[in-house]
Amino acid sequence: MGKEFLNLTDPDKVKDVIKNFAIIRKIEEINFAETYGRILAEDVHATIDLPPFNRASMDGYAVKAKDTFIATEDNPVLLNLSEVVKAGNIPKKRLMEGNCVEIGTGAPLPSGADAVVMVEFTETEEGNIKIYDAVAPGENIANRGSDIEKGNILLRSGTLITPDKIGVLSAIGMSLVTVFRKPRVAVISTGNELIKPNEDLKYGKAYDINSETIASAVKSCGCIPIHSGIAKDDYNDLKAKISQFSDADIIITSGGTSAGAGDVLNVVVEDIGEVLIHGISVKPGKPTLIGILTKGNIDKIIFGLPGNPVAALVVFQVFAAPFLRRMAGIRGYKQRKESIKLRLSRRYHSSRGRSQYVLIKIREDQAYPILKDSGAITALAEADGYFEVPKNVEIIEKGDKIDVIPLSRL
């Protein structure tokens, strides 16, 4: 058996180490149609006034407001209909006193008009229009630039482009958008026992769980996973796998971090860089490794996650995910903002001295702790999220409110 870890690092110190990693973001210009889910790398300024012209904000009749001042339901004003202007058309005449123009929502306001009477307060009579309600100057009109003036900022750098933001970009006719290039993350599973899902399962072997699990988690952080396949518990094989990813921004491995004789990641990282953290005072996830690779053609950060699937996913969410989101350019992301407050369904006993991350399932607005070890696949099947138990807390009572962090934001 290998030696146990002697120096475990406090999780808060680990987060400080990660926060000090330099962030180098690359940008690219992409077609507007490809922007969904990307992050703006530059402020977007309005290239035109919005609205681009004075226009009607209601269906009705464009008028000179003073022509309607005496109009009431019992004493309507009668105006001559001089023109019809629909959205997309251009008024041909200047509006004169005693006249009105039928106008559709979004249509340009005729010269001389300063208000629109809603169609609900009008009636047609032999080519003339009865106005039953007075309007004030500017009523039911959207003036040019009243939404935003040309040159002003529409969207800030770091904004996630969602359907509503795509609507904003559409409004100014953008065809090319400058976004942060998605960081490329190499995902490597290690273990002599691991096989691919399409291979026959033989005695003593196990299907590789972590490759797809971590790759999907990487995608949720706005990054692109690069699959490496499976590395053996062998120095040369693991080093070759790590060294081949010169185009990756970050490397994430799973397995090969424990203090056992067959775990070689620590040795590989020391040979081609520096191990900054090896062992975190958390449960699950104690054998986590974090380092930097600096030799040869490699210059990047490496996260070595535990091999157990639950531990690997929890450690990824707690330590790696916030860093990946920062690399991807997502502005103002804080994991705590994603938490929800729920009541604990039962009393929970924790191990004093180590922070603990407990998987839970959510039922009827309560959090039910999943009392299984970090190698239990059914724990992942049942889990909806997790909560943190600080290292100085031994008991959380039934009914206490806890901050639950969902494993997925879908």
Place of tokens 């959090």: 367
In this prediction, residue 379 has a pLDDT band, given cuts at 50, 70 and 90, of: confident
In this prediction, residue 374 has a pLDDT band, given cuts at 50, 70 and 90, of: low
Amino acid of residue 223: C
Which of 328, 363, 387 finishes a domain? 328
Q: Does residue 2 lie in a domain region?
A: no
In this prediction, residue 334 has a pLDDT band, given cuts at 50, 70 and 90, of: very low
Enumerate the β-bridge partners of residue 305. Answer: 254
Which of 277, 294, 328 finishes a domain? 328
pLDDT, one tens digit per residue, over 259-290 is 654 578 999 999 999 999 999 999 999 999 99
Closest Cα partner for 102 from 76, 89, 84?
Answer: 84
Give the domain CATH number at 365. 2.40.340.10
**Hey, is 387 helix, strand or coil?**
strand
Looking at the structure, tell me whether residues 304 and 342 fall in a common domain: no
Q: Does residue 150 lie in a domain region?
A: no
- Joined tokens for residue 373: 């070890």
**Would you state the pLDDT for residue 335?**
40
Give the containing element (helix H, strand E) for 118. Answer: strand 115-118
Express the helix, strand and coil content of the chain in percent, nearest 5 each. Answer: 20, 30, 45
Looking at the structure, tell me whether residues 384 and 353 fall in a common domain: yes
For the chain, percent of residues with pLDDT exceeding 70: 93
Looking at the structure, tell me whether residues 33 and 90 fall in a common domain: no
User: Residues 85, 182: contact at Cβ < 8 Å?
Assistant: no
| Residue 196, domain extent | 11-26+182-328
In this prediction, residue 336 has a pLDDT band, given cuts at 50, 70 and 90, of: very low
User: Residues 328, 183: contact at Cβ < 8 Å?
Assistant: yes
Looking at the structure, tell me whether residues 246 and 372 fall in a common domain: no
**Would you state the pLDDT for residue 408?**
74
Strand spans (E) along 119-199: 122-125, 128-131, 141-142, 153-155, 176-180, 184-190, 194-195
Per-chain mean pLDDT for the chain? 91
Give the containing element (helix H, strand E) for 218. Answer: helix 210-220
Looking at the structure, tell me whether residues 219 and 122 fall in a common domain: no
Looking at the structure, tell me whether residues 237 and 372 fall in a common domain: no
**Would you state the pLDDT for residue 261?**
45
**Would you state the pLDDT for residue 4?**
54
Comparing 17 with 375, the larger pLDDT belongs to 17
Residues 6+ apart with CB under 8 A from 259: 2, 3, 4, 5, 287
Looking at the structure, tell me whether residues 187 and 206 fall in a common domain: yes
Cα–Cα dist 131/138, whole Å: 17
> Of 32-46, 331-345, 347-361, which range is least confident?
331-345
Looking at the structure, tell me whether residues 207 and 322 fall in a common domain: yes
Amino acid of residue 372: K
Give the domain CATH number at 168. 3.90.105.10
Q: Does residue 147 lie in a domain region?
A: no
Looking at the structure, tell me whether residues 241 and 312 fall in a common domain: yes
Tell me what the mean pLDDT of segment 385-401 comes to.
Answer: 93
Tell me what the mean pLDDT of segment 81-86 comes to.
Answer: 96
> Of 32-46, 90-104, 231-245, 362-376, which range is least confident?
362-376
Looking at the structure, tell me whether residues 186 and 247 fall in a common domain: yes
Give the containing element (helix H, strand E) for 369. Answer: strand 366-369
In this prediction, residue 245 has a pLDDT band, given cuts at 50, 70 and 90, of: confident
Q: Does residue 358 lie in a domain region?
A: yes
Q: What number of H helices and E strands is found in the chain? A: 8, 28
> Of 20-24, 48-52, 90-94, which range is least confident?
20-24
Enumerate the β-bridge partners of residue 227. Answer: 187
pLDDT of residue 51 exceeding 70, the answer is yes
Closest Cα partner for 189 from 305, 286, 280, 277?
Answer: 305
Please give the tally of structural domains in the chain: 4
Q: Does residue 268 lie in a domain region?
A: yes
Looking at the structure, tell me whether residues 176 and 38 fall in a common domain: yes
Q: Does residue 230 lie in a domain region?
A: yes
pLDDT, one tens digit per residue, over 296-317 is 666 799 999 999 999 999 999 9
Looking at the structure, tell me whether residues 320 and 375 fall in a common domain: no
Give the domain CATH number at 83. 2.170.190.11
Residues 6+ apart with CB under 8 A from 276: 17, 290, 291, 292
Give the domain CATH number at 18. 3.40.980.10
In this prediction, residue 118 has a pLDDT band, given cuts at 50, 70 and 90, of: very high
Q: Does residue 289 lie in a domain region?
A: yes
Which of 284, 302, 328 finishes a domain? 328
Q: Does residue 1 lie in a domain region?
A: no
